[in-house]
Amino acid sequence: MQQVFSKALSFIKENLIILYSISLFILIPAAFFINNYIINSSYEKNIDLITQRKAVLAENIIKNMVQNQISDTAALQSSVNRIMQENGDIILLSILKPQNAQEEFEIIASSDPNLINQKPKDQIQNLLAWNKPEGIAFLDRNTDGRFWKVTKSFSDILNQKIGLIEISFSLKDSDALIEKTIYKSNIILILTILVVVLLVTNQARLIGYVWTTSKLKEIDKMKDVFISMASHELRSPLTAIKGYVDLFQTKKDLTLDQDANHYLKNISLSVERLDNLIEDILEVSQIEGNRLPIEMSVFNPAVIVSQSIEEMRSQAIQKNLVLSSNLFQTPVQIKADENRLKQILINLISNAIKYTKKGSVEVATDIKKDKFLITVADSGIGISAEDQINLFQKFYRIKNKETEDIIGTGLGLWISNEIIKRMRGKITVESIKGVGSHFTIHIPIVKK
């Protein structure tokens, strides 16, 4: 037995969530029960107090009605009968007259005919009521339920005590109301306990989710560390490879045949592609971890647009494409990150050049309402409506015969879209397959 208890205690220590759940299972219903009991007890006490005051008030009214009829028992009895007919809450009404030098009392009129001309059993109670100006009142119970029993003296016009009024005021209606309230409270309590049981039952699962989320965050952090470390380790040999390739290509006293030059060119392209992929993966990791640095400033975007066009002109010339511009001449101020905006624009121009086999690429700027627009238009292969839906998804690339030889990671548009959103802008696309595409950057204008 001791070994079982020891194992159970050890298990609970290792799984404190179980102890916590058990505590909740006990304490929450107990708290609701105590609260329910206190409220119902207070409610019952207040109802009893109100009913007592009602009984005393009724007795005072009756006292005024019968104080002049103490000598006429027939009239007194008639008044008692009438009062009983008009007041359903009064279950017993008796008028008592002192006897034997006010040491005993006799019932001279009553709603119960069997009590008339009888001496009450509890004379001490009557003596107490006779000697106390405010009378006495206490709760009692019979087969019909609880009732207030109020006994009080009354006087004649000379303020001389001449008798007692004894009234039993039923609490049947108020008790029924209290029982109904308690019944409803208990139903609510039971439902509450059921809800608590369900919550406690699911709590382990919820805490399991929290634990899983914590582990996922930890794994995500480890992933970021791994990506950073792997990127650093990969870039070192890539830099060396690129250096040797550049050395072979530029060394004048080294004669290479056509095949060797072709191989060197392919190695150089592969190194550049791998370097771009590493850079994209690093940026994806920073964006997903909300660690990508964005330095917002107010500037005229015309310079950035012109610089981006000139940087990409050589690529357009290599493909025999016309790279033109149609720039808005009026100076305008926007708030963004200059380097990030340039990164996005170069990515869009680069994509336009890559996916355009012949024709032209045009970069145009314009103002529409409170937005500065930069549009990169090409006469390339275009994008179908189906592909446009997923165009800004991570790692998404259009796969067909026209794109199979085009190098890319499928990350550029996703990165550009995430960066522009962090600068409170957006990128939209309009395209017709076989005709061309228009990618437009929307940046808010800074109002003067």
User: What pLDDT, on a 0 to 100 scale, did the predictor assign at position 297?
Assistant: 93
pLDDT tens sequence across 33-71: 787 778 777 767 777 777 667 767 666 767 777 767 777
Domain identity same for 268 and 186: yes
The answer to whether residue 357 sits within a structural domain is yes
Nearby residues of 128 by Cβ (< 8 Å), 6 or more positions away: 136
pLDDT tens sequence across 280-311: 777 777 777 777 888 999 999 999 999 999 99
Domain identity same for 421 and 345: yes
- 421-440 mean pLDDT: 92
User: What pLDDT, on a 0 to 100 scale, did the predictor assign at position 207?
Assistant: 62
Domain identity same for 26 and 147: yes
The answer to whether residue 439 sits within a structural domain is yes
Asked if the model's pLDDT at residue 194 lies above 90, the reply is no
CATH assignment of the domain containing 242: 1.10.287
Q: What domain range is 339 assigned to?
A: 295-444
Q: What is the mean pLDDT of the chain?
A: 81
* Sheet with 371-378: strands ordered across: 322-326, 360-368, 371-378, 436-444, 426-432
Left, alpha or beta for 434 (phi > 0: left; psi -120 to 50: alpha)?
left
More confident residue, 209 or 312: 312
The answer to whether residue 1 sits within a structural domain is no
Asked if the model's pLDDT at residue 229 lies above 80, the reply is no
User: What pLDDT, on a 0 to 100 scale, did the predictor assign at position 307?
Assistant: 92
Residues 431/324, Cβ–Cβ less than 8 Å: no
Nearby residues of 94 by Cβ (< 8 Å), 6 or more positions away: 80, 107, 109, 110, 111, 112, 115, 120, 165, 166, 167
Asked if the model's pLDDT at residue 120 lies above 70, the reply is yes
Asked if the model's pLDDT at residue 31 lies above 80, the reply is no
DSSP H helical ranges for 67-133: 73-86, 123-131
| Band of pLDDT at residue 349, cut at 50, 70 and 90 | very high
Domain identity same for 153 and 225: no
Domain identity same for 166 and 218: no
Q: In this structure, what is the dihedral angle of CA atoms 52, 55, 60, 62, given to the nearest 10 degrees?
A: -170
Asked if the model's pLDDT at residue 7 lies above 70, the reply is no
| Band of pLDDT at residue 427, cut at 50, 70 and 90 | very high
SS3 labels along 143-192: CCEEEEEEEEEEECCCCCEEEEEEEEEECHHHHHHHHHHHHHHHHHHHHH
- 266-279 mean pLDDT: 77
- 256-281 mean pLDDT: 76
Angle at the Cα of 120 from the Cα atoms of 114 and 126, rounded to 5 degrees: 140
CATH assignment of the domain containing 161: 3.30.450.20
Domain identity same for 431 and 362: yes
Asked if the model's pLDDT at residue 9 lies above 70, the reply is no
The CA distance from 294 to 308, in Å, is 19
Domain identity same for 190 and 153: no
Residues 34/185, Cβ–Cβ less than 8 Å: no
CATH assignment of the domain containing 362: 3.30.565.10
Domain identity same for 165 and 46: yes
More confident residue, 30 or 427: 427
The answer to whether residue 4 sits within a structural domain is no
- 423-435 mean pLDDT: 92
The closest of 137, 129, 166, 130 to 53, measured between CA atoms, is 137
The answer to whether residue 356 sits within a structural domain is yes
Torsion over CA: 226, 227, 228, 230 (sign)? positive
pLDDT tens sequence across 196-221: 777 767 766 666 666 677 777 777 67
User: What pLDDT, on a 0 to 100 scale, did the predictor assign at position 441?
Assistant: 95
Q: How many domains, in total, are found in the chain? A: 3
The CA distance from 111 to 94, in Å, is 6
User: What pLDDT, on a 0 to 100 scale, did the predictor assign at position 208?
Assistant: 63
The answer to whether residue 5 sits within a structural domain is no
| Band of pLDDT at residue 334, cut at 50, 70 and 90 | very high
Domain identity same for 342 and 426: yes
Percent of the chain scoring above 90 in pLDDT:
21
User: What pLDDT, on a 0 to 100 scale, did the predictor assign at position 434?
Assistant: 87
Domain identity same for 39 and 145: yes
User: What pLDDT, on a 0 to 100 scale, did the predictor assign at position 252?
Assistant: 66
User: What pLDDT, on a 0 to 100 scale, did the predictor assign at position 117?
Assistant: 86
Percent of the chain scoring above 70 in pLDDT:
83
Nearby residues of 125 by Cβ (< 8 Å), 6 or more positions away: 136, 151
- 313-319 mean pLDDT: 91
The answer to whether residue 258 sits within a structural domain is yes
Domain identity same for 229 and 112: no
pLDDT tens sequence across 12-28: 565 566 666 667 667 77
Domain boundary among 287, 314, 340: 287
Domain identity same for 324 and 346: yes
More confident residue, 141 or 244: 141
Domain boundary among 170, 203, 224: 170
The answer to whether residue 276 sits within a structural domain is yes
Residues 363/305, Cβ–Cβ less than 8 Å: yes
Domain boundary among 137, 170, 203: 170
